[in-house]
Amino acid sequence: MADKIKAAIIGPGNIGMDLMYKIINRAKYIELDTVAGIIPGSEGLKLARENGFNTCVNGIDGILGNEDIKIVFDCTGAKPHLIHAPLLKNENKIAVDLTPAAVGPYVVPAVNMHEIYNTDNYNLVTCGGQATVPIVAAINAAAEVEYAEIVSTISSRSAGPATRQNIDEFTETTSDALVKVGGAKKAKAIIILNPAEPPIMMRNTIYCQVKTPDEKAITQSVLEMVKKVQEYVPGYSLKLAPIIEGNKVTTIVEVAGEGSYLPKYAGNLDIITAAALAVAEKAAENMLNISESTRGAEQ
């Protein structure tokens, strides 16, 4: 299998660059072709050129019309993505959306990738959603979650202006995904920024009120899920295995970043780029398999 699916990144900021390095280091089924920005002298575009990728400064226009590019990572913002989504759809390009625009269905690779393989727009929820939805889904599978509540604490340094100006988007999108993907009947999400120096790692506390608090089944289900997430987020770890008090289950997970482009404390950014890559890889693998089998049928 010599071919790889060509991909592009729009938005060469922190998220876009972290993703670029992850594609360089880890991708098996996709290769990066173009990085699109809007600021000619930006650090991100410079890094992209240094790494041998095509760059353009006219944003999405630099990608549209290029038939080779099949997958586009949108690392801009919710508003731009609302404009980008229909344009990409028109050209049959798959959008992997790292903004909170929520045009397409939520995807959390360890939980529902297999269910939504045929969409053309994947939404990556939020960093908190990527960290906590898997745990809620695991507990739900073992014990039926009536109510899920998560608390994500991230270092102030890793929260950019977009997060800060729209902090309600985090709480609302995350709680929505805890229900839609995690399977909880009701949910609540809380985010806390901590300015301590040195910066803290991203930590997430997951509280679940369950119907059938079977400790062994819950623990086993959570441990298996943690392994699944670790396949694409190596810095994901269980800090406190499920503690059960009555119908309440408390679990804590920590996310350390890979530290290749962004510092290790930015686990909240790492987990979303890692999830985006996992989604794109799966979509690319499917495309390659389909084209292989079509070739097979023609022969």
Partner 1 sequence: MSQVRIIDTTLRDGMHAVSHQFSPDDMATIAQSLDEAGIDTIEIGHGDGLGGSSFQYGFSKATDEDYLKAVSSVIKKAKLDVLILPGIGIESDIERAAKYNAKVVRVATHVTEADIGEQHIKIAKSYGMEVVGFLMMSHMAPPEKVAEQAKLFESYGADMIYVTDSAGAMVPSQVKARIEAVKATVQLPVGFHGHNNLGLAAGNSIAAFEAGATSIDGTIKGLGAGAGNTPTEVLVAIFDKLNVNTGVDLYKIMDVAEDIVAPRMHRPQVIDRASLTLGWAGVYGSFLLHTYRAAQKFNVEPRDILVELGRRKTVGGQEDLIIEVAYELSNKK
225/131 Cα distance (integer angstroms): 11
The least CB distance from residue 212 to partner 1, in Å, is 18
Helices (H) and strands (E) in the chain, counts: 9, 11
Contact present, 279 and 109 (Cβ < 8 Å) = yes
Q: How far is the CB of 209 from partner 1 (least distance, A)?
A: 8
Instruction: Identify the CA nearest to 172 among candidates 112, 128, 136.
Output: 128
* Contact assessment for residue 232 and residue 183, using Cβ atoms and an 8 Å cutoff: no
User: Would you say 157 or 228 has its CB closer to partner 1?
Assistant: 157
Which has the closest alpha carbon to 215: 292, 167, 116, 143? 143
Distance in Å, CB of 168 to partner 1, minimum: 5
Written as one letter, the residue type at 252 is I
* Smallest distance from partner 1 to CB 218, Å: 16
Distance separating alpha carbons of residues 202 and 96, to the nearest angstrom: 23
* Pick 34 or 175: Cβ nearer partner 1: 175
**Closer residue to partner 1, CB minimum distance, 211 or 239:** 239
Instruction: Determine the residue type at 68.
Output: D
Round to whole Å and give the CA distance between 191 and 171: 7
- 177 closest CA partner among 134, 220, 212, 218: 134
Closest approach, Cβ 43 to partner 1, in A, equals 23
- Report the alpha-carbon distance of residue 258 to residue 266 in Å, rounded: 9
Residues near partner 1 (CB under 8 A): 149, 151, 153, 156, 161, 164-168, 170-172, 188, 190-197, 200, 203, 205, 207, 209, 239-240, 243, 248, 250, 252
Report the C-alpha gap between 105 and 122 in whole angstroms: 6
Q: Which is nearer to partner 1, 49 or 185 (CB)?
A: 185
Is the CB of 50 or the CB of 245 nearer to partner 1? 245
The verdict on whether 127 is a catalytic residue reads yes
The single-letter code of the amino acid at 180 is K
CB of 103 to partner 1, least distance (A): 21
Q: Which of 47, 85, 84, 23 is nearest to 280 (CA)?
A: 23
Catalytic residue of the set 56, 75, 127, 208: 127
Pick between residue 199 and residue 234 the one whose CB is nearest to partner 1.
199
Nearest alpha-carbon partner for 202 in 272, 148, 261, 147: 272
Instruction: Return the active site residues.
Output: 127
